[in-house]
Amino acid sequence: MKLSIENLYKTFSGFVALDRINMEVGETEFVCLLGPSGCGKTTLLRIIAGLLDFDGGAMSLGDRDLVEIAARDRGFGLVFQSYSLFPNMTVKENVGYGLKVQKVDKKERGERVEKLLELIKLPDLTDRYPHQLSGGQQQRVAIARALAVEPCLLLLDEPLSALDARVRAEMRYEIREMQQRLGIPTIMVTHDQEEALTMADKIICMKDGRIEQIGTPRELYAEPATRFVADFVGVSNIFSTAWVRENLPKKMGSRPEGRENSFDFAIRPEQLVIDGRKDGADIKNMQFLGNLSRITLNWHGQDVVVELQGYPQFKVGSSVAVIVPDDCGRWVKA
């Protein structure tokens, strides 16, 4: 079933937390709500879950109006950042808790729990308690508990933010694999652009309670619509219209019509080329990052970041030329 939200808005004591939100989640889609802290993404997730009321708009799942359905009756699975496992219950009991509440037969309950523990790769930890598990294991159990009741929609609120980098990378793959295997529509809140880019079918990028852009990971990275998206999703060099007019005049031909400060020009660091045989830009800093090097230069009074493969033989303080290929860069709303 498709989740549809139309013109949804929410205020807190006069503060607009969500402003006319329009979005859809398809039957098997994995959607990430991406944005900085305070942008409204968790508020939106809690409204979808039924944990918060909203002030206007419409929200439906298939042909069901969710406004008329209590949170406990929506059939959604919800996983929080804090895991929220019952400390006095074993792994098996935690996973089967929702089924017990639903009065599912004990034999069937056991079979479903066993299958889920296989799915989350913890079949040998059934009798352990939460305090005996690692952070990654606890999160797997929390996800299994949410999946046990066979939800029609899975909601994940920053599920990986408390994990260390290595475990977080593993869990990204595992959560996405589970979601694809089960075909459950999923909405995940995250502030981590890498999580969104690697896990989502669709990203909804938010700022200040509004949706800045909706699209696939590739669309948001390669075709950002606004300065905020260009700067938040990945790294961008962003130039004002005045700077482009003076230093990259050819790019002015593709600029949309509008006021002087209504559009900026954005280009990704990996799209720029450095020519060491010429000058015009001074190298301020170089960072070796393994498979690539990140170079910061001062170019016509503006700091510019360039990313090159390997370890180029340039030196800090030397002068080089920066080349912008004809087909690179994009005008974005300021």
Phi and psi of 223, rounded to 5°?
-135, 55
Judgement on whether residues 219 and 310 belong to the same structural domain of the protein: no
Exposure b/e, 222-245, CB count within 10 A at least 16 = b? eebbbbbbbbbbbebbbbebebbe
Helix axes 135-148, 106-119, angle to 10 degrees: 140
Q: Are residues 46 and 191 in the same domain?
A: yes
| pLDDT in the model for residue 260 | 83
Do 86 and 123 share a domain, yes or no?
yes
Range of the domain at 288: 254-333
Closest of 327, 325, 321, 331 to residue 272, by C-alpha: 325
Is the same domain home to 89 and 213?
yes
Here the CATH number for the domain that contains residue 300 is 2.40.50.140
Per-block average pLDDT, block size 10, for the chain (334 residues)? 95 96 96 97 97 96 92 92 88 92 89 90 91 90 91 94 86 91 95 96 98 98 97 96 95 90 96 94 94 96 95 92 94 96
Structural domain includes residue 236: no
Residues 219 and 308 in one domain: no
Q: Considering the domain boundaries, does residue 109 fall inside one?
A: yes
183: in domain: yes
- Looking at the structure, tell me whether residues 199 and 325 fall in a common domain: no
Question: For residue 169, what are its two tokens?
Answer: 């990378």
180 and 320 belong to one structural domain: no
**Together in a domain, 183 and 84:** yes
Residue 239 inside a domain? The answer is no
Q: Do 163 and 283 have their domain in common?
A: no
Let me know whether 329 and 220 are in one domain. Answer: no
- 213 part of a folded domain: yes
- Residue 270 sits in the same domain as residue 203: no
312/91 Cα distance (integer angstroms): 51
Q: For residue 134, what is the domain's CATH number?
A: 3.40.50.300
For the stretch 35-39, contacts whose Cβ atoms lie closer than 8 Å and that sit 24 or more positions apart, written own/partner, are 35/191, 35/205, 35/206, 35/207, 35/212, 35/232, 36/191, 36/207, 36/232, 37/191, 39/206, 39/207, 39/208, 39/209
Structure tokens at 265: 């020009």
In this predicted structure, what is the pLDDT of residue 164?
A: 86
Verify that 263 and 121 share a domain, yes or no. no
User: Structural domain tally of the chain?
Assistant: 2
What are the percentages of helix, strand and coil residues in the chain, rounded to 5?
35, 30, 35
248 lies in some domain = no
